[in-house]
Structure 1
Amino acid sequence: MNIKKFLPFLIPILSFVVIALAYFSPVLEGKELYQSDIAQFRGMSKEVKEHRAEFQEEPYWTNRAFGGMPTYQLSTYYPHDYVKKVDSLLRFLPRPADYLFLYFLGFFVLLSVLKVEWKLAFIGALGFGFSTYLIIILGVGHNAKAHAIAYMPMVLAGLLLVFDKKYLQGFILTAAAMALEINASHPQMTYYLLFAVLIFGIIYLIEAYKERKLPEFAGQIGLLMVAVVLAVGVNATSLLATKEYADHSTRSRSELTINPDGSPKEISSGLSREYITQYSFGFLETFDLFIPRFMGGSNNEKLDKESYTYRFLKDKAGRKQALNFAENAPMYWGDQPIVAAPPYLGSVLIFLFVLGAILIKGPMKKWLIAVTVFSIVLSWGKNFSLITNFFIDYVPLYNKFRAVSSIQVIAELAVPLLAILGLQKFLSENTKKEERLKAFKWAGISVAGLALFFTAFGANLFSFESFRDPGYENMLAGLSDILIEDRRTIFFQDSLRSLVYVVITACLLWLFLTDKIKRNVVIGGILILVVVDLVVVDQRYVNNDDFITKSRLEKPFDLSPMQSEILKDKGHYRVLNFMVDPLNDGSTSFFHNSIGGYHAAKPRRYQELYEFQIARNNIEVLNMLNTKYFIFPGENNVENVQLNQEANGNAWFVDQIEFVDTANEEIRALDSLDTEKGVVLTRDFEPVLEGRSFVKDSTDSIVLASYKANEMVYETNTSSDQLAVFSEIYYKDGWSAYVDGELIPHMRANYVLRAAVIPAGNHTLVFKFEPKVIHTGSIISLVSYGLLLLIPLGWYLKARKSKKGPTDKEGPTDKEGPTEKNESIQVI
């Protein structure tokens, strides 16, 4: 075995391990990165983990949040999820070093498929992985997003192999990478990847038409479609479960046609236009890709003691308060609600991107420029409403996702890719000197000129005012003017910084162009520049200070004395915490069954119930949800607890039935409903009651005898048939009701709860969560796994039998492999 043959792969991969661990070095001490979103996730998933540990099964449901919801997006382990096992092999490092390693690895694979020299592919991988946006999403805990982004390059690599006529390898890599991409469970990122693939397909369809190769193109697309279908198939369980829940979530069409104030509601099959575009990238903000703090950086920027802000506050409020404020200074002056860091791509890579855009010819350049422009334009959101509204109204699924600014991840991938291809072309001895000189000249003039312009004149071009400044001015007169001065200062500093990096990069290339330095010196210099450029900015936002001990991470929320008192009550009830925003709170769910919760796709009807009734403090609605305790701020914001003795309990009998025709009538009926006596049902459920009436008897009883997240057992004793309402959330696609082991129908009551007819006598009523989607998905997954193994194996055996070997010369439509002249850039 010739080890030298594998060194170009082993050296970079081992280096990626070392670099990922070095950047997140506290993981070597057993520490973990504190991620705010993951802390909330731990609260939301607490009951799931406890149930799994106690009963050795997946509950698929939790009552800890929003009254109750499926756990399909909350730490669920699906049967036969072998893709996740493969993923765990690739992510063998401690988190979050595992994601950083995966960034590096995926991009290195992509560049290797493009036949880029391993040293340059190594630079590109680091440039992609250290992109500031990709680091900051790890810092705040968007792990699923990072996970999905990391597999994007591998999916593209598989696609490119197929178009390079390496059909078997391309099929295997596409199917495997796409399976891993879907398994990462961030549909929004996968959806954006499909846009990039679609644009690729359009550009190469045009090329195929020009070259009269449409049958070959059709065969390649067909092969890729088979690979994608199998990738979807092996993830069938999670996809079907997610689709099922999505139809019940805020990502689906509401049945209501009115807002809480009675005004007409915007009719949409997904999220509201305002919610989708809440995080829209500004036109000027696009320059953050090139100059890190063009728009001030973040909402919590760290300033030093030389800053205007610190010196101003030191004299007004003292050193301690001045330092605390200056270390979390509101420097961002754009229009987005919250920005944790600018999406900096690196001035060095931007320069090389422009160089590549001039040097590279063919469809590859067209594709990479097209997807870059496409992603940036769509990231503008409401700031370019003509395009955004078209996509929301007419492009399938686009209205299911929020934070349109995040589509810039496609540019995060395309820019370093074209940059490295451009650098390779520039350094190639086959590239004419005149071509290099022309590209160098125009890249230098445009990129260095832009940086010089902003350095020289930018501080006087903009107001640097934020829409939040009036609030700071109200806090302390003159503070807003001081903040503007610091924004102007850091704008100049970072503009000059980008100019310096571009000039140094240009000098390296010029020295190579004039034969003053060797090729490897240029590569080494570019490597240092790319890494230092990006890492220095990354460290402003995610660094060693963000790590805490593992024990502290496992218990992200402190149990207060008041909450400890609540936990002495061993019953089954709910808690409403007014100390936080209930609809964005996973902390209460860590300890109690919460009225609130933290999730990107909340149960739609429950959110509507909150907006129409709970937010208006309708105590009857809180009673029907069995809200037994209220946590609220007292004097000096000290936590207090109040017992609600009027809570309806786990279940109760009613004898007043009101049938309504529409969702509007259903939710409005709760305005005045006495929930302990009456119930509101839609006419869909009228046949279940068969026109019967009920009379309550004070001696009748219904008691919750045992509780599990996915199973509740009630003991009933009634003298006649009774209609019972349960304080549990109705979810038709999973919950089943059994009386003495026999399945009975149950109904949606009071907009979100369950109701069922209880026969006279002593009986046992059991609610079980039995989602059929899990069984159906498991069968599809197993069949897909079988096909995913058999198709390549059969292909391989057939090739061997025909004595052609498992080469790529035998494809679906083309019998000839690539020639020596068929270099990657021409092929793709």
Structure 2
Amino acid sequence: MKNFNFKALVPHLIAIGIFLIVAVIYCRPALEGKVLFQSDNVHWKGMAQNSFEYKAQKGHFPFWNTHLFSGMPNYQVAMEAKSFIPNLHAVFTLGLPKPIGFFFLACLSFYILCCTLKIRPAIGILGSLAFAYATYNALIIAAGHDTKMWTMAYMPALLAGLLLIYQKKYWIGLAVAVIAGNWEVAFSHPQITYYFVIAAGIITLGYIVKWVKEKEWKHLAISIALAALAGIASVANSAMTLLTTAEYAKYTMRGGKTIETSGTEIKKADTKGLDKDYAFQYSIGKSEILTAFMPGVFGESSFMHFDEDSKLVSELVARNIPENQASQLAASLPRYWGGMQEATGGTLYYGAIICFLAIIAMVVIKNPIKWWIAAAIVLFIFMAWGRNFSGFNAFLLDYFPLYNKFRSPNTALIIPQFLLPVLAVMGLQEIFFTAKGKEELQASLKKIYYALGGLFVITLLIYFFNDFRTAVDTQILAAYSNPQNGSNEMGSIIINALKAERKSMFLSSIFRALLFAGLVVGLLFLYIKNALKPLPVIIIFTVINTIDLLVISNRYLNADNYLDEDSYQSQSFNPTAANTQILQDKDAHYRVYNLSQDRFNDAITSYFHRSIGGYHPAKLRIYQDLIETQLARNPMNMDVLNMLDTRYLIIPPQEQQGQYGVYKNDSALGAAWFVKHIKYVNGPVEEITALDKFGPKDTVIIDNSLKNIAGNDPVYDSTATIKLEDYDNDEIKYSSTSNSPQFAVFSEIYYPAGWNAYLDGKKVNYAKVNYVLRGMPVPAGKHEIVFKFEPASYYTGQKLIYFGNMLFYLALAGAAFALWKQRKTATA
């Protein structure tokens, strides 16, 4: 310990202290016993409640979730694997409550990357705070996208590990990459990890070009091998989740579809991956990337409206609209007018100072890796344009591996959010702490002026040639047209007033950005003239940029997002009178259809009941087809609800009583039944169309391709019975008695990747029937029928986890040995 340099550690401790202080100040209510209210997290708790109740009884989570969409795999709701890796995540976050831990970890992770890049601590603090408090983070935390935020937070540390390997610090780099990669993958947000891998691959390609030029073949081989080993270890440690999810994805909306609906028409389809229209939802407009340094240029949020002092109100008044009416009208119109046709919660702002520093960095950095970083930034901006750059993105969707499994192109902007601060800190390091940094900065001033000036020229061109129209304007014109004479004079007045407001927002945003650009250039100019030292300049940049980001982020994540524990529980999970009434029914098998909520985007019902609806981003494809063609239609198809054993329907509150009503459906068919007839059809279109009216009590619909399993019509036996004996998430037992062969229909969702059927202990085949259910022939006599959910992917994944654990500890042991050897050499 005599050689330990505590003084060298002090700047890093100060950095960690600053990260903690900023996070605590911003998230103060979390330390006052309040709970962050996150809509998606509330939905997740609704989805997972049955799983936690199951675990309390059985000691482990179930594989199958009975409370969502009549039943679906539980893999992405609540799963666990056996691992010998300690919970280092709790160490990295200091056990801090949400959302403090989110921001602290993001700062710490980026700071590790800065240390790897040999960035001075003061500059590293600037970049870390910029990455952590970019507004997208506040938006996703407020919404409850916890796994997305954790996965994003580990990206910088994972890149740090890879760069250490590329710097020939092989064992240390491998250890950092394996640790960060383990948690990067473990939080199971494949889209974020996928984007990171592409970005890291582009940067790695830059290093490969350098090694090839320098003929460092051995280093190239070792680096690629160790990077691959880190990836293998990270993937192996999450193999159970990845394998089950990959298997499940084939049967979901992300796996393509066999039918397509267009209005009332149903036709055959054969697609792989998501539909283009669905995949390209949440595509930003081409000029919308300007929000990176001008947060208010497109109005920020669909949920923000205009106040009485806005330009919109004055424009409406100038067009002879009474002031009170103008104020009311303005308060109902969305500020957002960007390229996303869907609603958006807020602007994606990285900080004007960071953006301008990144542009300056492209001028002053000598390391050619800057071009590869810039290439990654540009690529992901193109990807974020989605349908607004359709030729390029349609090509990726059709031909780039796995690209068609993900939606929301705007998510791609996490990479510019990550890499722009990287460029900024590299640039400041070059300017302030290299031998000729100041001289080269002075020599580059003209180029810097051209670069920043060019950015503002492009911005002004967009301003002058913009029509300031957006998709919502068509809806406004339609809403305010006169139905009697077809006049849309009022709508035109509103649109013209909105255009004036948008021009005002755009112009004021340009002036705001010019102020920040002037600040950046001015401070650097004072540094050149020796009026300021590097540290004051860095501190000013850090303070102003952080405050700027916090002010904007605070619009989306603030004290209003927190509730005390009791209010959180009562607002989210207090049972209604209808729920309480239904819960009195202790029968082992029935389902509930809640018509008082958004049926297929509601997981609160799943908190209490086995729900026909639910909330999940990756529903089973066959169930999504059922929703689109049968469940969502009006009037309701009671045949379909009956076959799903829908015993209770929750009716919206009546205006007079104000209470949720409960309708008991006595026609629900129960857990299983014998049918009299088998109706064979050709293909999925005929199969799902046959559900329009078919009498599920007596008739079952089966595709012709399964005739070898289902056989011929059963021999009717009025005394035949089949009943449920035991109902468990992962194992269901029935008993049957009949004097002749029968065909049984089970009110359970068909999912062949794991559900096995056993007749008197012997494994037998079963068929997909009625498009979404299971069915099988049952011979005469008394029998026990058991369905067991035994996903082989889970057990294979568990074995691979042990292999990943071994690689994890091997990397740590290697790093420890390398440090010991290095220390021993230094003291020799």
C-alpha contact 1:653 1:696 (8 A) present in aligned 2: no
2:152 corresponding residue in structure 1 = 149
Question: Are the aligned partners of 1:65 and 1:596 in contact in 2 as well (CA < 8 Å)?
Answer: yes
Give secondary structure in 1 for the equivalent of 2:126: helix
Residues 643-652 or 260-269, more deviating: 260-269
The yes-or-no answer on 1:416 pairing with 2:394 is: no
1:497 aligns with 2:523: no
CA contact (8 A) 2:308 2:330 kept: no
Partner of 1:235 in structure 2? 238
Mean Cα displacement is larger for which, 400-409 or 317-326?
A: 317-326
Partner residue in 2 for 1:719 = 739
Q: 1:797 to 1:11 in 2, by over 3 A?
A: closer
Deviation at 1:772, TM superposition (A): 2.6
The amino acid that maps onto 1:726 is F
For residues 362-419 of structure 1, the C-alpha deviation after alignment (integer angstroms, 9 at most, x for no partner) is 3321121111111111111111122111111111100010011211111111101001
C-alpha contact (below 8 Å) 1:718/1:762 kept by paired residues: yes
Alignment partner of 1:646 out of 639, 660, 667: 667
Cα deviation per residue 1:305-357 (whole Å; 9 max; x = unaligned)? Answer: 42255679999899899579739844334333111111111110111001100
Q: Output the CA distance in 2 between the equivalents of 1:69 and 1:325.
A: 45
Tell me the equivalent position of 2:554: 539
Contact in 1 for aligned 2:172/2:815 (Cα 8 Å): no
- Say if 2:172 and 2:818, in contact at 8 Å, map to a contact too: no
The 1:796/1:457 distance shift into structure 2, 3 A limit, reads closer
Unaligned runs of 5+ in 2: 481-489
What is the Cα deviation at residue 774 of structure 1? 2.1
Range that drifts further, 239-248 or 350-359:
239-248
Distance 2:819 2:336 in 1: 62
For residues 473 and 688 of structure 1, the distance between their equivalents in structure 2, rounded to whole angstroms, comes to: 57
Does the residue aligned with 1:169 lie in a helix, a strand or coil? helix
- TM-score between the two structures when normalised by the length of structure 1: 0.90
1:626 aligned onto 2:626: no
Q: Superposed, which structure 2 residues align to 1:254-653 within 5 Å?
A: 254-256=257-259, 261-262=264-265, 267-301=270-304, 303-308=306-311, 326=331, 329-428=334-433, 430-447=435-452, 450-451=455-456, 461-472=465-476, 477=490, 478-554=493-569, 556-571=572-587, 572-616=589-633, 617-633=636-652, 636=655, 639-653=660-674
* TM-score normalised per structure 2: 0.90
Aligned to 2:89: 87
Q: Is the 8 A contact 2:112 2:160 kept in 1?
A: yes
Q: CA deviation at 1:752?
A: 1.3
Sequence identity (%): 35
Give structure 1 stretches of 5+ with no counterpart.
809-828
Q: CA separation of 1:432/1:74 partners in 2, compared to 1, >3 Å: closer, same or farther?
A: closer
Equivalent pairs counted in the alignment come to 803
Instruction: Describe the shift of the 1:75–1:679 C-alpha distance in structure 2 as closer, same or farther (beyond 3 A).
Output: same
CA 1:786–1:422: 2 relative to 1, 3 Å:
same
Alignment counterpart, residue 732 of structure 1, candidates 746, 752, 769: 752
Deviations 1:72-120 (A, max 9, x none): 110222222736x222332321112111111111110111100000111
C-alpha distance after superposition, 1:460-515 (max 9, x if no partner): 65343332234445666454444444433333333322222221222211111100
1:106 to 85, 106, 109: 109
Match of 2:42 among 39, 43, 47: 39
Aligned partner of residue 632 in structure 2, secondary structure: helix
Q: CA deviation at 1:593?
A: 1.8
Q: Indicate if the aligned counterparts of 1:171 and 1:227 stay in contact, CA closer than 8 A.
A: yes
How far apart, CA to CA, are the structure 2 residues paired with 1:465 and 1:169? 54
Residue 774 of structure 1 corresponds to 794
1:301, 1:327 within 8 Å by CA — same for their partners in 2? Answer: no
**Contact map agreement 1:448 1:502 (CA 8 A) in 2:** no
CA contact (8 A) 1:737 1:767 kept: yes
CA distance in 1, matches of 2:523, 2:736: 83
Which residue type is aligned with residue 638 of structure 2?
I
1:258 and 1:664 in contact (8 A); partners too? no
Amino acid at match of 1:609: L
Contact 1:799 1:807 in 2 (8 A): no
Q: Is the 8 A contact 1:331 1:486 kept in 2?
A: no
What is the CA-CA distance between 1:38 and the residue it aligns to? 1.4
SS of the residue corresponding to residue 228 of structure 2 reads helix
Match of 1:73, SS state, is coil
Does the aligned pair in 2 maintain the 1:356–1:423 contact within 8 Å? yes
Of stretches 396-405 and 653-662 in structure 1, the one that deviates more from structure 2 is 653-662
Matching residue of 1:666: 687
Corresponding residue for residue 3 of structure 1 = 6
**Aligned in 2, Cα 1:438/1:34: closer, same or farther, shift over 3 Å?**
farther
Give the Cα–Cα distance (whole angstroms) in 2 for the partners of residues 160 and 46 of structure 1: 42
Equivalent position to 1:97, from 84, 97, 100: 100
Q: Given that residues 501 and 529 in structure 1 are in contact (C-alpha distance below 8 angstroms), is that contact kept between their aligned partners in structure 2?
A: no
Q: Which residue of 2 aligns with 1:657?
A: 678
Cα distance in 1, alignment partners of residues 801 and 685 from structure 2: 40
Q: Aligned-pair distance for 1:271?
A: 0.3
Matched, 1:123 2:126: yes
Partner of 1:677: 698
Q: How big is each residue's C-alpha offset from its partner over 1:641-665, in whole Å with a ceiling of 9 and x where there is no partner?
A: 4332322221111121233453333
AA at the equivalent of 2:641:
L
Q: Is the 8 Å Cα contact of residues 288 and 338 (structure 2) preserved in structure 1?
A: no
Would the aligned equivalents of 1:452 and 1:499 in 2 still touch at CA under 8 Å?
Answer: no
Residues 1:528 and 1:449: Cα distance change in structure 2 (over 3 Å):
farther
Q: Return closer, same or farther for 1:480/1:633 CA change in 2, 3 Å cut-off.
A: farther
String of CA shifts for 1:575-622, please: whole Å, max 9, x gaps: 223333323222322222222221111111111122222233332122
Does structure 1 retain, via aligned residues, the 8 Å contact 2:259–2:268?
A: yes
For 1:439 and 1:43, the matched residues in 2 are separated by: 57
Amino acid at match of 2:375: A
Distance in 2 between residues matched to 1:252 and 1:141, nearest whole Å: 25
Whole-Å Cα distance in 1 between the matches of residues 140 and 72 of structure 2?
26
Aligned to 1:225: 228
Structure 1 position 704, deviation (Å): 2.5
Which amino acid in 1 is paired with 2:578?
M
Give the Å deviation of 1:238.
Answer: 0.9
Counterparts of 2:262 and 2:332, CA distance in 1: 41
Instruction: Tell me, yes or no, if structure 1 residue 702 matches structure 2 residue 704.
Output: no
Amino acid at match of 2:471: F
Give the deviation of 1:763 after TM superposition. 4.2
| Alignment deviations for residues 530-553 of structure 1 (CA, whole Å, 9 cap, x no partner) | 111211111122211111123333
AA matched with 1:705: E
